[in-house]
Amino acid sequence: RAIPDRRAADAVNHFDYRGGALCCEDVKLADIADAVGTPAYVYSTATLERHYEVFRAAFAPRDVLVAFAVKANANIAVLATLARKGAGADTVSQGEIERALRAGVPADKIIFSGVGKTEAELAFAVHAGVHQINVESIAELETLARIAWALKKKPAIAIRVNPDVGAGGHEKISTGKGDAKFGVSPEQALALYARAADDKHLDAKGLAVHIGSQIRDLTPLESAFRVMRTLAEQLRAEGIAIERLDLGGGLGVPYFNEPDPPAPADYAAMVERVFTDLDIKLSFEPGRMIAANAGVLIARVVRLQDRPRPIVVLDAAMNDLIRPAIYDAYHGIKPAREPSGPESAYDVVGPICETGDTFTRNRMLPRLEEGDLVAFMTAGAYGAVMASTYNARPLVPEVLVRGERFEVVRRRWEVADQLALEKLPPWLEGV
């Protein structure tokens, strides 16, 4: 059975047909394609701002830190757009911290997470004075204490809890089960936090949790948050101060016509129900729900292969948008010209020499022809950040739109740029 291409996400972004042309805000995607070529990522400022504001406002009057997950979209123009609205940044590498700082995110709004932080990265975060470092093991705690002593600093830390609660849209993005690599058990968290609180080189501030991504059911989130509340109460009962809980991210977005995920207001109501009478500061790390529907990947049809079910070959490939290949992810596909005729079933593929370079099979789409421009919807999160130069293909440009204006915020990274990083050893020169 062919898969239809209708998505609830259409109602929550600024990509729509105007005068027969698919637009991002007030700019035709075809005009962007003519100016910068294809493939290219296009982001809507209005959607980024709207989604951030809706998420933050859902918790009012509670004052929360909303730290955008940089791993979802690390473009500094995107980060700067959110920083100017008051967002912080959730980071998982020194590079992401540097990007956030470059974009204008204050250091005291940056959270540093991740299981494999190197000593150099920890030292960088301590020097920068980030909001907190989420510690994920006893070994990391000991390393950080030694670094803090050497630098004569006292970094704020939180212990990441693994609550043994799994959730997420795919097993590869579920992070809260007991056998996952992230965090420590609740029992270990209590012991590590008490140890950190006794260390004069560390400033024990709180606990952190993150159980997965693309979560469409609040039940596992509530279970994890109740674990966090219990741990905070246990620490306070033992006379150990705790002032923060980092509740992570993971709230899903509507990629296509499944039931809509919970709205931020419903999520916030659940959070308030769990923590209503607990005097503690809360932070959140949304990424996908802010950025996903704020971006599209535009591509052109290279040719159609005549098969019983036609194959549409695009100039975009799995190196540009890898989510379908590794997660079996669905992305709506829209032609840049508003369709009017009947739909047909197509397979949609890229030019890479891999069978896995297949975006979708048996998808009902409007009639497509060579040269047509199409847009992969809901591609603003985990799109450009996961791109590669496989098959020596250029990294695609990124474009930010604001009203009637657009700007290339990352140029196309051509093959010449790749070759400039490489050299021949002396024994091969002149061959």
- In single-letter form, the type of residue at position 138 comes to I
Neighbour count for residue 119 (Cβ, 10 Å): 11
H/E element, 364? strand 358-366
Q: State the Cα–Cα distance between residues 313 and 303, nearest whole angstrom.
A: 5
Question: CB under 8 Å to 282, separation ≥6 — which residues?
Answer: 59, 62, 64, 65, 244, 245, 246, 247, 271, 275
**Whether 267 contacts 232, CB under 8 Å:** no
Q: State the Cα–Cα distance between residues 323 and 18, nearest whole angstrom.
A: 29
CA atoms within 13 A on the CB side of 406: 26
Q: State the Cα–Cα distance between residues 290 and 67, nearest whole angstrom.
A: 11
Q: State the Cα–Cα distance between residues 355 and 270, nearest whole angstrom.
A: 43
The residue count of the chain comes to 431
Q: Residue 324: helix, strand or coil by DSSP?
A: helix
Give the closest residue to 379 by CA, choosing from 75, 65, 98: 75
- 353 has catalytic annotation: yes
Q: Of the listed 353, 392, 421, 428, which one is catalytic?
A: 353
CA atoms within 13 A on the CB side of 214: 21
**Whether 141 contacts 191, CB under 8 Å:** no
Q: Residue 98: helix, strand or coil by DSSP?
A: helix
- In single-letter form, the type of residue at position 38 comes to T
Alpha-helical runs (H) found in 185-314: 186-198, 218-237, 264-275, 288-291
Question: CB under 8 Å to 388, separation ≥6 — which residues?
Answer: 319, 322, 395
Alpha-helical runs (H) found in 372-426: 415-419
Q: State the Cα–Cα distance between residues 380 and 384, nearest whole angstrom.
A: 8
Give the closest residue to 87 by CA, choosing from 107, 65, 115, 103: 65
Rounded alpha-carbon distances, angstroms, from residue 176 to 137, 143, 170, 186, 221: 15, 24, 13, 12, 10
Catalytic residues: 353
